[in-house]
Structure formats: structure tokens, C-alpha cells
Amino acid sequence: MPLPHPDRLLLAFDRALRTVSAQAKSSRPNPAAHITTENLTEKEQQHSAGLMRVNHVGEICAQALYDAQSSFSHTPVVTHQLQHSCIEEEDHLAWTAHRLKELNSHTSFMNPLWYAGAYACGVIAAKCGDAASLGFVVETERQVEAHLASHLQALPLNDSKSRAIVEQMRVDEIAHGAAAQALGASKLPLPVRVGMQCMAKIMTTTAYYI
């Protein structure tokens, strides 16, 4: 039975607070847990931290998107798949937050803004119907996978811990996009895809530093 509207809003607000306040918990082991700490130069450590902060922001946005889209989806099977993906994305959120601590750095100070903007996008996508919402997932995951692949090239060669996390994230994102495609995703119009790329560019450029 669907929750009454006020209860749904309260739950969404509670999830938002837990997400932006770094209270995410992983359900799977951290892929970097078995890797010994590497010796990074100060410059390499700062660069790795910037990249992992970008990835952490991406997971903040993923939590918001999947939460909004699952809350307003139209069929149980779509809701279930979105919620499943959201759980795996929370693993990513916890892993990247932990790595940032290891790198003696911080998460983005703009996380509440990133979450709010992504949640609004998720609601809009869901309101357009399940096919469009799933198409939004497919395109998002396609862009994220390409972004993570570029990070695997950009990370310092001896930062094996960050690499292990990013590689597992990449595998999961590909699976999430494939699952959404299998459920009947429609292809988004070109202007929407380009707009998503532009917003992602702004986010990644800003989050690297702030």
C-alpha cells in the first residue's frame, strides 16, 4: 500500500539528511579493503582526493535521482529495480566517503545543493512516465560509466585503492543501465542528453575543488 503523501515526504527528507551528512552504510565489502596504503606525493594525494570527491558527489546525486524516481514510478517492477540500484549506489557513496577520509580530504561543501537539484530532476523524469524515467537512468549511467573510465586513466598509477573502488563502481553502473534498458527504457531526445552532459560538466568541475 502506498504511503500517505506527508509520510512519503518525511521519509524522503530523512533519506536526504542521511545522505548529505555522510551516514551512508555499505552492504558489500569495500573493494579497496584488502589493498595496502600506497605512498602518494602531496600532489598525487590532492589529485586523487579531487577525483574521489567528484565521484562522491556523483553518488549523492545518484541517491537523490533513484530515490525520487522510485518514489514516483508507475509500476512495482520499475520501483523495485530503482530501489535495488539505489542500494548499490549507497555502497559507492560509503566507499568514496571512506576513501576521502583516507586521503585526508573532505566531501563537497555543496552536497545539499547537488542533492536537491538531482532530486528535482528525478521527480521530473518520473513524472514523464516509466519509459522516459528508465531512459534517463540509461543515459545517466552511460555518462557516468564514461566519466569513471576517464578517472581510471586520470588517477595516479600507484593509487590502487581509489582504482579498485572506481572500477567496481563502473561495473555496477553498466549493470544498472542495462537493467533499465531491459525494462523498456526509451531514448531521450538529443537536447535532453546534451543538457545532462552540460550539467554534469558543471558539477564535476566544481566538485573537484569545493
Query: What average pLDDT does range 173-189 have in this prediction?
Result: 91
Residue 11 has pLDDT above 80, yes or no: no
* Residue 79: how many other CB atoms lie within 10 Å: 17
Tell me which long-range contacts 197-200 makes (C-beta under 8 A, separation of at least 24).
197/143, 200/143, 200/147
Per-residue burial over 52-63, b if 16 or more Cβ lie within 10 Å, else e, is: bbbbbbbbbbbb
Top-tier CATH class for 41-207: mainly alpha
Higher-pLDDT residue of 31 and 6 is 31
Domain boundaries along the sequence of the chain:
41-207
Query: What average pLDDT does range 56-85 have in this prediction?
Result: 88
Q: What pLDDT, on a 0 to 100 scale, did the predictor assign at position 16?
A: 55
Residue 14 has pLDDT above 80, yes or no: no
Query: Which pTM was predicted?
Result: 0.85
Q: How confident is the model at residue 4 (pLDDT cuts 50, 70, 90)?
A: very low
Average pLDDT over the chain, rounded to an integer: 86
Say how far apart CA 179 and CA 177 lie, in whole Å.
5
Q: What pLDDT, on a 0 to 100 scale, did the predictor assign at position 210?
A: 87
pLDDT above 90 covers a percentage of the chain that reads 44
Q: For CA atoms 116, 122, 125, 127, give the dihedral sign.
A: negative
Query: pLDDT tens, 25-44?
Result: 777 899 998 888 778 999 99
Per-residue burial over 92-111, b if 16 or more Cβ lie within 10 Å, else e, is: bbbbbbbbbeebebebbebb
Q: What pLDDT, on a 0 to 100 scale, did the predictor assign at position 12?
A: 56
Query: pLDDT tens, 108-163?
Result: 888 888 888 899 999 998 999 999 999 989 999 999 999 999 999 999 998 999 99
Say how far apart CA 103 and CA 51 lie, in whole Å.
11
Higher-pLDDT residue of 7 and 166 is 166
Say how far apart CA 65 and CA 203 lie, in whole Å.
15
